[in-house]
A and B are shown apart, each in its own frame.
Chain A
Amino acid sequence: MIDFGGWDMPVQYTAGTIEEHMTVRTRVGLFDVSHMGEIEIRGPQALNLVQHVTTNDASKLADGQAQYSGLTYPEGTFVDDILVHRFADDHYFLCVNASNADKDFAWIASHAGEFDCEASNVSANYSQIAVQGPQALATLQPLTDVSLADIKYYWFTRGHVDGVPALIARTGYTGEDGFEIYFDPHESERIWDKLLAQGQSFNILPCGLAARNTLRLEAKMALYGHEIDDTTTVLEADLAWICKLNKGDFIGRDKLVAQKAAGLTRKLVGFEVLDKGIARDHYPVFIGDEQVGYVTSGSPAPFLKKNIGMAYLPLAHTAVGSQFDIDVRGRRLKAQVVPTPFYKRSK
């Protein structure tokens, strides 16, 4: 067990990271992600507050729809990356990173006064379990009263899981089909066990943090504290698709508009290590003799069977095919920018 932002969490269960990873890619895996934070925003101007503090355009959401978004500082850098769920036009539900939940809530609350709405940190009211993989639907369906096939990707619904009221969202952090379910924490052990039992016919496995990390890396999903933080802007992080500069004013918009106009100096890329060796988090990245950055996340990719990672590179070196060096404990290994996501599931 490791201490992850104050939560004791398993890095891996008994099967091991590679088997957990492959199980999610090919069958179904279960993640206890109860550490994630939840923040509710309610009131007549709930949408205005969400629009003010986030980069994506929440006005495009319908009831029951969710979107990935950035919570940004005036510099256009990240307070956090979050999921915004719309319950109703006066009721939004944000899922935020565990280690950032208090900071996020304080940030949002400090801006809530400008709007007729109220933000509350409801993290303690929810457990979250992620069921991920091609058999996620078949695993969860027998335990719920909602028709899961009718929930589209990045939509959600309210229903029951094993009789317990739950928010069921077709979202995830693995690059696979799957669901994230939010419910009363008192029921979490029972629901966890029920899901494991239900998934037995698919050889379901409980999966730890290490597999969660390799799965999200193959899908090129950012991890706060690695790819994104208060020093990286939404545009540098290659997340222009969640940065809707024309939606109206929001915190950080001016800086992001200016940065877009001036052109980026660096950008996040995905790379593959060409030489034999593994580039890990924080290893220095070189172009010639000049250190130009560092690896934000690097690991063997269990499904792709390659050594991959992400890094910030000077813009001129971000094209697919562009090569650079990574210092792996004193050895210079050749790496190459590759198309991302590294892994994309077949529909």
Chain B
Amino acid sequence: MSVYPDNLHYTKDHEWIRVEGDTGTVGITHFAQEQLGDVVHVQLPRAGEKFDAHATFGEVESVKTFSELFTPVSGEIVAANDALADTPELVNSEPYGGGWMIKLKLGDPSEVDKLLSASEYEDYLESQKED
């Protein structure tokens, strides 16, 4: 699998979303998991909770640091990845697979159009490399 699959949409906060119908699956990117290092805990919301776009929906903790998680788009949580409670390392090993975090019922599908494509995200990462 590519480091940044073409079928996903990305944010500058390093989340990705995979849209299927009116539902989106959200996780963090390869870059994000690499920066965090070994993930040891993921705090996720419960089904039914509603979020605006770019709202804090949880937190990911690694051995050396932590980071807030932001919704790429608005929506209502329909599922959270319970497997991460016992196997948070999936975020590192399968950031786009078993390491997914939440599934959202999209509040406004047009918000997805404002997100970055895989190549735009890679350009963004490149532009952030200063030294």
Contacts and interface: CB of A to CB of B under 8 A. Distances in A.
Interface stretch (A9-17, A102-110, A112-120, A158-166): A9-17
Indicate the size class of the contact surface on chain A: 10 to 19
Contacts of A277: 41
Interface in B34-78: 37-38, 40-41, 61, 63-64, 66
Contacts of B63: 17-18, 210, 214, 299-300, 302
A278 B64 contact: no
B11 interface: no
Interface string A20-61: 000000000000000000000000000000000000000000
Contact of A16 (B37, B41, B66): B37
B92 interface: yes
Nearest to A301: B63
Given A18-B63, A278-B61, A299-B64, A11 B37 contact: yes
A16 B38 contact: yes
A16 B92 CA distance: 10
A12 to B, nearest CB: 6
Indicate the size class of the contact surface on chain B: under 10
A298 B116 CA distance: 36
Contacts of A17: 37-38, 63-64
A16 B33 CA distance: 11
B38 A278 contact: no
Interface in B8-40: 37-38, 40
Contacts of B38: 16-19, 302
A329 B40 CA distance: 17
A278 B41 contact: yes
Nearest to B63: A17
Given A214-B63, A299-B63, A299-B64, A278 B37 contact: no
Nearest to B64: A210
Contacts of A18: 38, 40, 63
A11 B40 CA distance: 17
Interface in A198-222: 210, 214
Contacts of B41: 276-278
A19 B37 CA distance: 11
Q: Which of B38, B40, B61, B66 has the most CB of A within 10 A?
A: B38
Contacts of B66: 278, 280, 329
Contacts of A329: 66
A210 B36 CA distance: 12
Nearest to B61: A278
B129 to A, nearest CB: 13
Contacts of A19: 38
Contacts of A11: 37, 64
Contacts of A302: 38, 63
Nearest to B65: A280
Contacts of B92: 16
A332 to B, nearest CB: 16
27 contacts: A11-B64, A12-B37, A16-B37, A16-B38, A16-B92, A17-B37, A17-B38, A17-B63, A17-B64, A18-B38, A19-B38, A210-B63, A210-B64, A214-B63, A276-B41, A277-B41, A278-B40, A278-B61, A278-B66, A280-B66, A299-B63, A299-B64, A300-B40, A300-B61, A300-B63, A302-B63, A329-B66
| 7 cross-chain pairs, A with B, having the tightest CB-CB distances, nearest first | A18-B38, A17-B63, A300-B40, A16-B38, A210-B64, A17-B38, A300-B63
Interface of B: 37-38, 40-41, 61, 63-64, 66, 92
Interface of A: 11-12, 16-19, 210, 214, 276-278, 280, 299-300, 302, 329
